[in-house]
Structure 1
Amino acid sequence: MSHSFQELVQLAYQGLCAAGVKHDAAADTALFLALAEVDGLASHGLARVAQYSGHAKHQRINTQAVIKTHPYKSAAALVDGQDGLAFPALKYATDLSVHLAHQHGVGLVAIKNTHHFGVAGHYTEAAARAGYISILLGNTPAAMPMAGGSKAVFGTNPLAAAFPVQGKDPLVIDMSLSAVARGKLLVASKKGESIPLGWALTADGQPTTNPNEGLKGLMVPLGGDKGSLLALIIELLAVGLSGSQYSYEADSFFSMKGNKPRLGQLIITIDPGLPGKGIYRNRILDLINTFASDAGVRLPGQRRFTVRQKAMKLGVVVNEAVLQEIQNGIQSGWNN
């Protein structure tokens, strides 16, 4: 059975409110989770409602968090998510970075004390649709080893960048630094499915097709040692500039009990009109025209937008186990 975008927003909102999350934070979070579903990214969609609700029950998030801002210099600021759900803090920080870029040409905003922040590309896409280049990176609970190591030190540490294109959808590059996003293991676990070899390792470093063993173990870095070193760069920027916790200091998102993760992100927003009118606009169109001459090229982000457009019209099918889990949580108040 297909569900509309608004139906998914409402269900996620009700589920989060039932867990005690304050209404504005639940509304922001529900919108991003529903957007992930219509984009075909179920690993960051409604499957996360039960996870966040479990974290609320066990005080891993502050359900009544009020975002605080600390200006640093004219074009830079620090946003404190106050241990709440990450979506309100990231939405606010994105808007702030655009405001700073509008004023100064560049806006840099570090974010601290947050939680799982969903699809990184959603924030950069929003800035790009407003006409700005946007880069976002952040750390997540440890799931990958350092190059040469066997212990989880880094998270899958997502990275996204978006570039506005006049009269067209922006180019959106969005990736985690593991071979696949860790949320795909969560989806496979809920469906009772196995995962392909090469996605994850068990806690003792053995290849596995069991998503539950993979969630307890290690994710395989994208590109081997190079993926680990990219994760290190993100770790140093996201934590070093925000004062957040390193990935190895944050307990897994996939455990209901644990500490407040207090993770960090960094947003860099650039006004592409600053160097000279039309330079950026013309140069990116030249590149896109070059891509167009090669029939096999797929522009980054375009598949996501195509899936979104279709889902907004026809609705989207969500895993019934996920929907039932949320409905049960609403009825029971997630067992208080």
Structure 2
Amino acid sequence: MNLSYEKMVQLASSGLQAAGIGGKAAFETAQFLALAELDGLASHGLARVSQYAGHAKNRRVELDPKIKVRPFKASAALVDACDGLAFPALRFATDLSVNLASKTGVGLVAVTNSHHFGVAGHFAEAAARAGYISLLFGNTPAAMPMVGGSKALFGTNPLAAAFPIDNQDPLVIDMSLSAVARGKLLVAAKKGESIPEGWALNAQGKPTTDPNEGLKGLMVPLGGDKGALLALMIELLVVGLSGSRFSYEADSFFDAKGNRPRIGQLLLTFDPGLAGRQVFANKIQGFLKTLAADAGTRIPGRRRFKQRAAGFKEGVNVSDVVLEEIQTGIRQSWNG
């Protein structure tokens, strides 16, 4: 079914509130899920509503948390998501990191006791649109092994970076450190589709094209050993600075029952004016011209922004399976 952004937000928010999540947290979460759909990232879109709802019903998340902040020196702070959905805390943390960077040149904000935070690039993009360079790292429940290992130790540990460009959309780099985002397996499983070989391994460590087997097994690291080592770097930075759980201590997001994940995220925001804001702007523009001179070169984020613009105008086709899941949850809350 084709839905507008507003309809997607309304539906996702209703689905989350039906599971008991507070109105403000449900609405802010729904905004980011709908934005993911507009960007063509269905794996982080409305397909997550039933997942979050299952967590809420099984008390894997706090339904109406009050975010806490602990300042640390002049340029840093720790934000406690208090076991709630991650989106309100990350939104708050992004604004805080920009505020700190505007005063001191750098804003370092760690988020603890958090949850699945969707598209990392959305938060980095917001800081870049305010005129700042932004980096975001996060750990997730274990899904990948260490170099030479066979047990899930790291999450897919996504990272994003965004750079402001005068009078244009920012340059946004956004990726997980598995060969593909784990959410793509979720979408394929819901649709009853297979996945390409090379995305995941089953519980016995063998390549699989069955997304359900992949969700029970291991994700293949991006770039082999190098992807695993990058995941290690993010794991140590995020957990060490936020005090959150290691990936292997958090139960899978894909199970309705389990512990409260209490994972973390880390934001680094920089004022680009160290050598002069105009110097930074000129360097970025010059590099973009060099890229554009090479025919066929793709600029990170451009395709996403193009899809977003089209989605705002024309709406987005959302899977009937996903819509039925959300609507079933809403109906059950009425009958309950």
Query: Could you state the TM-score of these two structures normalised by the residue count of structure 2?
Result: 0.99
Partner of 2:238: 238
Query: Partners in 1 of 2:274 and 2:78 — Cα distance?
Result: 24
Query: Partners in 2 of 1:240 and 1:329 — Cα distance?
Result: 38
User: C-alpha displacement at 1:4, in angstroms?
Assistant: 0.3
Query: Partners in 2 of 1:81 and 1:221 — Cα distance?
Result: 28
Partner of 1:297: 297
8 A Cα contact 1:9 1:31, kept in partner: yes
Find out whether 1:97 has 2:93 as its counterpart: no
Residue type at the aligned position of 2:128: A
Query: Partners in 1 of 2:334 and 2:149 — Cα distance?
Result: 39
Query: Partners in 2 of 1:66 and 1:335 — Cα distance?
Result: 29
8 A Cα contact 1:58 1:256, kept in partner: yes
Equivalences for residues 1-336 of structure 1 within 5 A: 1-333=1-333
* 1:171-201 Cα shifts (integer Å, max 9, x gaps): 0000000000000000000000000000000
Query: Partners in 2 of 1:158 and 1:21 — Cα distance?
Result: 25
Query: Partners in 2 of 1:334 and 1:90 — Cα distance?
Result: 31
User: C-alpha displacement at 1:275, in angstroms?
Assistant: 2.8
* Change in 2 beyond 3 A, CA 1:175/1:14: same
SS in 2 for 1:54: helix
Residue type at the aligned position of 1:105: G
Query: Could you state the TM-score of these two structures normalised by the residue count of structure 1?
Result: 0.99
Query: Partners in 1 of 2:54 and 2:153 — Cα distance?
Result: 24
8 A Cα contact 1:75 1:104, kept in partner: yes
Query: Partners in 2 of 1:335 and 1:140 — Cα distance?
Result: 34
Query: Partners in 2 of 1:236 and 1:320 — Cα distance?
Result: 40
User: C-alpha displacement at 1:274, in angstroms?
Assistant: 3.4
Query: Partners in 1 of 2:93 and 2:24 — Cα distance?
Result: 16
Query: Partners in 2 of 1:314 and 1:8 — Cα distance?
Result: 13
8 A Cα contact 1:328 1:334, kept in partner: no
Q: How many residues align?
A: 336
8 A Cα contact 1:77 1:110, kept in partner: yes
User: C-alpha displacement at 1:335, in angstroms?
Assistant: 7.9
8 A Cα contact 1:53 1:334, kept in partner: no
User: C-alpha displacement at 1:334, in angstroms?
Assistant: 8.8
Residue type at the aligned position of 1:22: G
SS in 1 for 2:265: strand
8 A Cα contact 1:19 1:334, kept in partner: no
User: C-alpha displacement at 1:295, in angstroms?
Assistant: 1.0
User: C-alpha displacement at 1:167, in angstroms?
Assistant: 1.2
Gaps of 5+ in 2: none
* Change in 2 beyond 3 A, CA 1:103/1:219: same
* Change in 2 beyond 3 A, CA 1:248/1:292: same
- Let me know the Cα RMSD of the aligned residues: 0.9
SS in 2 for 1:278: helix
Gaps of 5+ in 1: none
